[in-house]
């Protein structure tokens, strides 16, 4: 491509001409419903919900989940949902239609021998189950991409993981925090989720437990991506979205890191789904579900705090496009439902926020310049960050090695091209049809990358695939819509459909191979090159314990920009101890009986000198690492 600068503009020109002549168009959006909402609620359960919710809010003082306040909180949420839930959802008509389609394939006959069930429409039955099998196969492929080589991709933890494991350990000891203040502050969802995962799978307080927990969260995102594809197109769009998102390196990598990153797309996807479907079908229950996921997301990952803004923008866009007064009144009522439900779920964090505003907002404000002077005028940095953020999909994803293959597009070549085409097609269709859903997708991209863009104090941290993670959902959805349009452009004849699906299969193979290489070769090797070999140090600690029965007399001597001295202990099954002993305190080790062991960096000559003076009979050995240039010294004192 670099040698053919005219190819890309020419390709886009052909695509636009195809769109203009209606040969290539986006999938038709599902039809909107016009069914009035009674704008009522059940007063008694609502009042009880308020009473219990207020009591729980008071009980969340001092920043802890207590058994009684948590019970009242959960009860208040159930009562609130029950007071607003419609007994006969309007979406049920659609569900009944799908069920009737199922029944069309069968013939029921009741006689003296019992109930006879036979397949009356074999073609319908076969197509239906073939499609379900195809969806399951694509889902299985996506799960494979998430779980494959999870033990070694990524291979080593870093300091954030040490903080996380210590937080999870504290929860297991009864420290049931609402907000974890360590390491500039973090929401609680992952800590409790990881504790559940390590107990269910027996993986212990380990790096693998963190990775397994977050990769499961990534897998849970997949069904919502599929449903979004149906909501913004059809079932073919849905399976395209499921495939492209399922194999994509971006959501795969951020799900594997073992940090809170996948919580942003996980809760954005259902929030967007139920908001869009609710406004389309005018089904109040969808707004209750949207509020639930919106509230849960606020307990997940700090960048999700942009999603309430996005939700408000969706309602604003909808209000600007509807014409009747009734529709506007209903939309305001539904918006209040979303706010109320999400507020009830957010209430523990709200209580913490009111008591500790500086802790709650510290991480975000530190990026906005609350502590560090900005390196230039704020508006210039913002525009520069926005420009770089919008380019990350197709050009440069930034320089943060822990969650990306640096300085390459966030999307693979095929998905990136489809995304750009989809954006152009959405703009053209919106100009023609003025459908609020098209504008919602277009607006989602700059809004959802805003947590990355707003890193004004540290512009080098933008773009950041973790803080822009939710944008992967809508970007890939837009690409799937463009691909659906391309497949449909071949026409409906059998031969043309064979050609269309053959082309789609070739593109899928290209996409899968490209993303496989990105994750399991490029990212794997780049990460291993940059991360410190704490697992090898943990192995040395474990061997010392096996031989001498304890690790109390093992220390790691810190060195600038070397390992986090807590992580080797995690590998050795000691998650709650920092093994650091600084050079100036090495003489304190004389107070401990032998055997003793000291690990230190291979260029730390000062530590070597001190240890030889303190323990002239000690044995010095060099551990040869499997990682390049990461050897370390072991100084063993046996008597």
pLDDT in tens, 50-61: 999 999 999 999
Position 99 confidence tier, pLDDT thresholds 50, 70, 90 = very low
pLDDT at 122: 66
pTM: 0.92
Alpha helices by DSSP H, 356-412: 357-368, 378-391
DSSP H helical ranges for 60-147? 67-84, 92-104, 122-147
* pLDDT class of 101 with cuts at 50, 70, 90: very low
Mean pLDDT in residue range 585-606: 96
If one compares 126 and 227, the residue with the highest pLDDT of the two is 227
In this prediction, residue 307 carries a pLDDT of 98
**If pLDDT is split at 50, 70 and 90, which confidence band does 278 have?**
very high
pLDDT tens per residue, range 207-230: 999 999 999 999 999 999 999 999
Token pair belonging to 156: 């080593």
pLDDT for position 362:
84
Q: Are 252 and 518 in contact (CB under 8 A)?
A: no
The strand pairing partners of 177, in sequence order, are 64
Rounded average pLDDT over 226-240? 97
Please tell me which of 96-100, 359-363, 512-516 the model is most confident about, judged by mean pLDDT.
512-516
CA distances from residue 300 to 251, 398, 599 in whole angstroms, order as listed: 16, 24, 37
C-alpha span between 461 and 480 (Å, rounded): 29
Q: Is the peptide bond before 520 cis (omega within 30 degrees of 0)?
A: no
pLDDT of the residue at 234: 95
Average pLDDT for 120-139: 83
Q: Looking up tokens 């991360």, which residue turns up?
A: 531
Which of the residue ranges 180-184, 314-318, 427-431, 635-639 would you say has the lowest mean pLDDT? 180-184
Question: What confidence tens digit (pLDDT) does each residue in 443-452 have?
Answer: 999 999 999 9
- Compute the distance between CA of residue 161 and CA of residue 206 in angstroms, rounded to an integer: 9
Sign of the alpha-carbon dihedral angle for 552, 556, 557, 561: negative
Of the candidates 360, 187, 350, the residue with the CA atom closest to the CA atom of residue 260: 187
Q: What are phi and psi of 47, to 5 degrees?
A: -65, -40
Lowest mean pLDDT across 38-42, 65-69, 205-209, 292-296 = 38-42
Predicted confidence band at 286 (pLDDT cuts at 50, 70, 90)? Answer: very high
Residue 147: which of 139, 136, 135 has the closest Cα? 139
Kind plus residue range of the DSSP H or E element containing 548: helix 534-548
Beta bridge partners of 622: 633
Q: What pLDDT is attached to residue 107?
A: 53
Q: Give mean pLDDT, residues 546-553.
A: 96
Rounded to whole angstroms, how far apart are CA atoms 136 and 468? Answer: 28
Report the C-alpha gap between 584 and 607 in whole angstroms: 9
């Amino acid at each position: 491509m670099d040698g053919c600068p005219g190819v890309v503009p020419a390709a886009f020109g052909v695509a636009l001409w195809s769109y203009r002549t209606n040969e290539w168009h986006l999938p038709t959006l599902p039809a909107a419903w016009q069914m009035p909402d009674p704008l009522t609620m059940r007063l008694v359960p609502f009042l009880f919900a308020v009473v219990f919710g207020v009591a729980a809010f008071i009980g969340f003082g001092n920043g802890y989940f207590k058994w009684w306040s948590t019970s009242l909180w959960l009860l208040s949420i159930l009562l609130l949902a029950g007071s607003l839930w419609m007994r006969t959802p309007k979406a049920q008509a659609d569900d009944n239609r799908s069920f009737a389609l199922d029944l069309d394939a069968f013939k029921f006959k009741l006689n003296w021998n019992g109930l006879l069930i036979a397949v009356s429409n074999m073609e319908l039955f076969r197509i239906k189950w073939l499609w379900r099998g195809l969806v399951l196969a694509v889902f299985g492929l996506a799960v494979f991409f998430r779980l494959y080589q999870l033990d070694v991709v990524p291979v080593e933890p870093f300091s954030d993981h040490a903080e996380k494991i210590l937080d999870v350990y504290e929860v297991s000891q009864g420290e049931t925090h609402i907000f974890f203040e360590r390491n500039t502050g973090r929401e609680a969802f992952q800590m409790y989720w990881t504790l559940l995962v390590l107990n269910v799978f027996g993986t212990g307080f380990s790096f693998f437990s963190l990775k397994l927990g977050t990769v499961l969260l990534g897998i849970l995102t997949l069904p919502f991506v599929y449903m979004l594809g149906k909501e913004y197109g059809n079932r073919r769009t849905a399976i395209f979205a499921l495939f492209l998102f399922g194999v994509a390196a971006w959501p795969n990598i951020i799900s594997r890191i073992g940090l809170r990153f996948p919580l942003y797309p996980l809760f954005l996807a259902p929030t967007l789904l139920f908001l869009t479907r609710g406004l389309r079908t005018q089904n109040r229950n969808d707004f209750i579900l949207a509020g639930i996921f919106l509230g849960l997301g606020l307990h997940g990952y700090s960048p999700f705090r942009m999603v309430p803004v996005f939700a408000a923008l969706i309602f604003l866009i909808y209000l600007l496009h509807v014409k009747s007064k009734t529709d506007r009144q209903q939309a305001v009522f539904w918006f209040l439902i979303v706010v109320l439900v999400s507020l009830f779920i957010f209430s523990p964090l709200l209580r913490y926020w009111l008591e500790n505003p500086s802790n709650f907002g510290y991480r975000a404000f530190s990026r906005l310049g609350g502590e560090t002077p900005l390196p230039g005028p704020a508006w210039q940095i913002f525009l520069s960050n926005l420009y770089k953020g919008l380019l990350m999909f197709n050009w440069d994803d930034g320089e943060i090695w822990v969650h990306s293959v640096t300085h390459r597009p966030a999307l693979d070549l095929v998905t990136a091209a489809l995304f750009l085409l989809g954006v152009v097609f959405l703009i053209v269709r919106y100009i023609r049809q003025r459908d609020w859903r098209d504008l919602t997708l277009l607006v989602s991209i700059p809004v959802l990358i805003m947590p990355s863009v707003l890193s004004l104090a540290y512009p080098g941290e933008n773009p950041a695939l973790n803080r822009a993670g939710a944008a992967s959902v809508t970007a890939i959805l837009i690409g799937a819509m463009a691909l659906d349009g391309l497949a449909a452009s071949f026409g409906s004849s059998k031969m043309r459909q064979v050609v269309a699906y053959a082309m789609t299969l070739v593109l899928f193979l290209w996409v899968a191979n490209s993303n496989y290489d990105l994750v399991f070769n490029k990212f794997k090797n780049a990460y291993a090159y940059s991360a410190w070999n704490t697992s090898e140090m943990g192995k040395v600690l474990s061997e010392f314990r096996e031989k001498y029965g304890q690790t109390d007399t093992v220390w790691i001597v810190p060195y600038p920009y070397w390992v986090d001295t807590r992580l080797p202990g995690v590998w050795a099954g000691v998650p709650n101890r920092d093994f650091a002993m600084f050079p100036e305190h090495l003489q304190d080790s004389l107070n401990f009986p032998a055997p003793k062991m000291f690990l230190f960096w291979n260029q730390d000559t000062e530590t070597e000198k001190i240890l030889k003076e303190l323990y002239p009979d000690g044995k010095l050995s060099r551990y040869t690492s499997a990682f390049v240039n990461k050897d370390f010294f072991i100084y063993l004192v046996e008597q």
